[in-house]
C-alpha cells in the first residue's frame, strides 16, 4: 500500500491514476487546503476503482500514526505542500510550517512505523538563476524565495536522513514546469484565485475569462526574446513517479533526479501552440520582466533516463490540447 500525501492536488491526483494503472494500491491523505474531495471521485471514474482517502494534515502526528497503523504502507509519495512563490514571500511562516514542519512530521511517522521508502516532490527552483543549460542535478543550488528554500531544506533533511540510516530509500524529484491534464478532461490544475503560472493563465485567457496574457519580458537571450522553460506533461511526471517507486523497490539508495523533457519552449511558443490547438485567439501584451525571474531553464534529463528508464513522451501540443480540454470541460 502506497501513501500519497496531497493526492487530491494537481500532480498527486494524476499520479494516483498512474499508480492504479500500474497495479499499486494506495491511500490518499489530504487536508484539502488547495483541493477538494471531488478530485478523488474523478480519479475513481477514470480508474474504475474506489479510492481510499483520509482528510487530515501531515503536521498532525496522531493522524499520521493512525494511518500507518491502519494500512501496511510500504512507501510514501509526498506531494502535500504549498507552492506559490509570491504567496511564500508574504507568508514565510506558513510555508515553513506546511512544507518543512510537515515533511519532518511525515518522515518521523515513517520512521516510527518502519516505512523508509519515500518519493519527494522538489522543484527546479532549487537551481537558481545563472546556470548553464541544460542543468544537471550536480549544479550548485541557490534559492531566492521562501518556497524554494523550503524545498531545499527538505532536500537537505532527506540527504542527512539517508546518510544517518542507509535503510532509507529516497527519490527526490526536481520537477521543471508541469502543465497539461489527464486526457479524460476529468482532472487538471485548479488554481485558486488568479493563477500565477503561465499555462493556467493562457487557459483562462483562451476561455475569455481574462483579457490578455502579460508576457514578462521579450529581451531574454532566446530566439523570440521571451523566457524559455522546460514544460513537462503532468501525465509524464506521473509516470516518472511510478518509475521512481519501482527503482526504489529494487535499490536501497537515495537519488536526486530532474523530471523534464530536456527541451525548452518559449512563452511565445506556448501561446502560439495553444492558439493552434484551441482554435482561440490569445491576446497578449509585453510587460517588463518579473522580479527575480529566470530567463532560460531546461533540464538535463540523462539521469532520469539512465536510472529510471524514464523519458517524457508527450510534446507541447499534447500539453496544450489536454490543458484546453480540461479548461473547456470545467469552464472556470
**Site residues for ligand UD1 per CB under 6 A:** 83, 85, 123, 125, 148, 177, 196-198, 201, 213-216, 227, 229, 267, 290, 292-293
CB of 288 to ligand UD1, least distance (A): 11
Active site residue 175: no
Lookup: cell for 231: 514544460
Distance between CA atoms of 291 and 288, rounded to whole angstroms?
Answer: 9
Asked if residue 106 lies in contact with residue 160, where contact means CB atoms within 8 angstroms, the answer is no
Q: Please identify, using beta-carbon distances, which residue of 219 and 249 lies nearer to ligand UD1.
A: 219
Taking CB atoms, the residue at the shortest distance from ligand UD1 is 227
Active-site hit among 24, 71, 95, 147: 147
Q: Which is nearer to ligand UD1, 291 or 302 (CB)?
A: 291
For 114, left (φ over 0), alpha (ψ -120 to 50), or beta?
left
Q: Which three cell numbers stand for residue 311?
A: 523519458
Nearer to ligand UD1, 148 or 240 (CB): 148
Question: Shortest approach of ligand UD1 to residue 289 CB, angstroms?
Answer: 7
Strands (E), 89-236: 117-123, 169-175, 177-179, 213-216, 228-229, 231-233
CB of 310 to ligand UD1, least distance (A): 20
Identity of the residue, 85 or 110, whose beta carbon is nearer to ligand UD1 in the bound complex:
85
Integer Cα distance of 72 and 53 in angstroms: 15
How far apart are CB 231 and ligand UD1 at their closest, in Å? 8
What lies within 8 Å, CB to CB, of 62 at 6+ separation is: none
Active site residues: 147
Amino acid at each position: 500500500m502506497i501513501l500519497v500525501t496531497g493526492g487530491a492536488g494537481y500532480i498527486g491526483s494524476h499520479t494516483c491514476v498512474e499508480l492504479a494503472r500500474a497495479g499499486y494500491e494506495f491511500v490518499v491523505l489530504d487536508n484539502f487546503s488547495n483541493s477538494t474531495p471531488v478530485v478523488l471521485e474523478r480519479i475513481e471514474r477514470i480508474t474504475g476503482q474506489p479510492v481510499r482517502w483520509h482528510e487530515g494534515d501531515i503536521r498532525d502526528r496522531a493522524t499520521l500514526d493512525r494511518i500507518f497503523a491502519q494500512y501496511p504502507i510500504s512507501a510514501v509519495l509526498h506531494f502535500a505542500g504549498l507552492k506559490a512563490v509570491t504567496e511564500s514571500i508574504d507568508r514565510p511562516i506558513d510555508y515553513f510550517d506546511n512544507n518543512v514542519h510537515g515533511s519532518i512530521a511525515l518522515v518521523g511517522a515513517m520512521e516510527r512505523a518502519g516505512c523508509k521508502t519515500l518519493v519527494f516532490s522538489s522543484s527546479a527552483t532549487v537551481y537558481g538563476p545563472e546556470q548553464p543549460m541544460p542543468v544537471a542535478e550536480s549544479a550548485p543550488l541557490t534559492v531566492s524565495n521562501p518556497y524554494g528554500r523550503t524545498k531545499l531544506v527538505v532536500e537537505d533533511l532527506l540527504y542527512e536522513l539517508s546518510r544517518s540510516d542507509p535503510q532509507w530509500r529516497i527519490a527526490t524529484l526536481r520537477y521543471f514546469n508541469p502543465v497539461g491534464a489527464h486526457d479524460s478532461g476529468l482532472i487538471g490544475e485548479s488554481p485558486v484565485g488568479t493563477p500565477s503560472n503561465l499555462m493556467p493563465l493562457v487557459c483562462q485567457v483562451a476561455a475569455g475569462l481574462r483579457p490578455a496574457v502579460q508576457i514578462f519580458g521579450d529581451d531574454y537571450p532566446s530566439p523570440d526574446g521571451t523566457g524559455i522553460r522546460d514544460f513537462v506533461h503532468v501525465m509524464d511526471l506521473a509516470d516518472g513517479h511510478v518509475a521512481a517507486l519501482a527503482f526504489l523497490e529494487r535499490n536501497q539508495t537515495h537519488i536526486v533526479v530532474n523530471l523534464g523533457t530536456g527541451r525548452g519552449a518559449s512563452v511565445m511558443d506556448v501561446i502560439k501552440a495553444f492558439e493552434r490547438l484551441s482554435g482561440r485567439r490569445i491576446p497578449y501584451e509585453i510587460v517588463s520582466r518579473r522580479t527575480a525571474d529566470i530567463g532560460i531553464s531546461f533540464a538535463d534529463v540523462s539521469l532520469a533516463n539512465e536510472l529510471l528508464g524514464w523519458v517524457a513522451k508527450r510534446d507541447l501540443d499534447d500539453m496544450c490540447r489536454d490543458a484546453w480540454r480540461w479548461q473547456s470541460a470545467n469552464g472556470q
